[in-house]
Amino acid sequence: MTRVAIQTHDFDLAQEIATLRAEDPRVGAVCSFVGTVRDRNDGSAVASMELEHYPGMTEKAIEAMIDAAQRRFDILGARIVHRVGLLQPLDQIMMVAVVSAHRGQSFQACEFLMDYLKTQAPFWKKEQTPEGARWVDARVADDEALARWGIQAPNA
């Protein structure tokens, strides 16, 4: 199983977790997070959003994030699926799933990967609002989240 998938089509969380677990008797904990499209952002209604990425570069960056999580936490595996293309409110955007022997390591690794994805992953987002289309930095500047993991903020 590949650890990272960037795709236009939706995903099935239950199937992704089942594949990640792969009948591994060492797995005692599974932690997952699913992000969905909201109908509002920064006070404006959002009719749709379009996510773009650089194929190859994005996967490589996310693979490095998973490598960092495996060095920091005692996890058995991780899977990240991130959608690109045109998305509507309520659509699933992405998921992170982590398996480990114990829940604490899964929770920590999942949160670490989410913070890293939200602040470092190379995605570009265009939202359709009543005022027209607008490009939004898909990477949220969250210095507190980065500091929690000892990660230096870009341009710091």
* CATH code at position 94: 3.90.1170.40
Task: Give a yes or no: residue 35 inside a domain.
Answer: yes
Low-confidence stretches of the chain (pLDDT < 70) are 138-143, 145-146, 149, 152-156
Task: Give a yes or no: residue 80 inside a domain.
Answer: yes
What pLDDT does residue 62 have? 97
What pLDDT does residue 44 have? 83
Task: Give a yes or no: residue 55 inside a domain.
Answer: yes
What pLDDT does residue 23 have? 87
Task: Give a yes or no: residue 17 inside a domain.
Answer: yes
Mean per-residue pLDDT over the chain, rounded? 90
Task: Give a yes or no: residue 24 inside a domain.
Answer: yes
Strands 4-7, 75-83: pairing kind: parallel
| 8 A C-beta contact, residue 110 and residue 33 | yes
Number of domains in the chain: 1
- Name the residue range of residue 31's domain: 4-134
Q: pTM to 2 decimals?
A: 0.88
Task: Give a yes or no: residue 143 inside a domain.
Answer: no
Task: Give a yes or no: residue 124 inside a domain.
Answer: yes
